Amino acid sequence: MKLSALVCAHNDEGRLADCLRRLDFCDEVVVVADRCTDRTADIARQFGARVIDGIFPLESQRKAAGVSACLGEWVLEVETDEHVDADLAYEIRAAIHGRPGGDWFDVPVDNFVGQTLVRRGWGAGLGDVMSPRLYRRRVKRWKAGRVDPAVTLDGRFAGALETALNRHADPDVGHLLGRLNRQTALRAQDLADAGAPGGLLGDLAKGIGQFWRCYVWRQGLREGELGFLIALMAGLDAVLSGLRARELVKARAAVAAAAPAQPTRFGRTG
């Protein structure tokens, strides 16, 4: 029962090695190097990974290209800022070799901000506490999107693992805020491309809903000030994404209006 590890990377030379050295229990490692200008691809090859170099503007494209390159029946999806410890590695191998009664497993994720473990309150693409990361190769599909694309899973749910992935995405609060800035810029492009930039009132309603889900329903309130900050950022995600999308639509319209008219085949302009 062959197991492939899939890692998508973009200029991650500083943290890729720590991720890959913990994946030696897999039968193969596939690294998608998206528009990398540093040593990401070289480091991946040093660890024996098969590297897929390319230009993938959408996160969904990166994931799909990586899964297509995997040869294993099962795929373990890992981010460059995540670590698989020995207990989780053992549980993964046991799960896929133990005649699983389904086609995909949920894997818990422990998210750290600096050295602080924040277990609750994540949402809006900033973090997951449970995610379908272990699946048969043809089970998982992503809808088109630059950030946090929606996922479709075929087949049957096989259950949830007990041991968590350790994610160290943010060394400090400043980095977490920077992630929100980058994420809303990408989400704004998706909204503008879809012709759905929305309006302020709708964004506010969505933002309040996301804050409530993260802070109350997902119990971010039990995580102290970091839980409040994460819930607040989840709410701001909707507002900032919509605002930036509307700015982008206006900028594109201005560029289109300023462009010179193109001559027709009969020499006239229109």
The position carrying tokens 């802070």 is: 215
Q: Identify the CA nearest to 238 among candidates 204, 215, 191.
A: 204
Other residues' Cβ atoms within 10 Å of the Cβ of residue 86: 10
Q: What is the pLDDT of residue 270?
A: 46
Indicate the pTM of the whole model.
0.92
Let me know: does 139 contact 104? Beta carbons within 8 Å.
yes
> pLDDT tens, 221-241?
999 999 999 999 999 999 999
Q: What is the pLDDT of residue 1?
A: 73
Q: What is the mean pLDDT of residues 51-71?
A: 96
How would residue 173 be classed by pLDDT, with cut points 50, 70 and 90? Answer: very high
The residue that leads in pLDDT, 266 or 144, is 144
Give the 3-state DSSP-derived string for the chain, with helices as H, strands as E and coil as C.
Answer: CCEEEEEEECCCCCCHHHHHCCCCCCCEEEEEEECCCCCHHHHHHHCCCEEEEECCCCHHHHHHHHHHHCCCCEEEEEECCEECCHHHHHHHHHHHHCCCCCCEEEEEEEEEECCEEECCCCCCCCCCCEEEEEEECCCEEECCCCCCCCEEECCCEEEECCCCEEEEEECCHHHHHHHHHHHHHHHHHHHHHCCCCCCHHHHHHHHHHHHHHHHHHCCHHHHHHHHHHHHHHHHHHHHHHHHHHHHHHHHHHHHHHHCCCCECCCCCEC
> pLDDT tens, 99-120?
889 999 999 999 999 999 999 9
Question: Where do the structural domains in the chain lie, given as residue ranges?
Answer: 3-169, 172-258
Q: Residue 110 and residue 131: Cα distance in Å, rounded?
A: 11
Q: What is the mean pLDDT of residues 167-175?
A: 96
How would residue 81 be classed by pLDDT, with cut points 50, 70 and 90? Answer: very high
> pLDDT tens, 120-132?
999 999 999 999 9
Q: What mean pLDDT value characterizes the chain?
A: 95
> pLDDT tens, 148-157?
999 999 999 9
How would residue 264 be classed by pLDDT, with cut points 50, 70 and 90? Answer: low
Q: State the burial class of residue 47 (Cβ atoms within 10 Å of its Cβ: 0-12, 13-18, 19+).
A: middle
The highest-level CATH class for domain 3-169 is: alpha beta
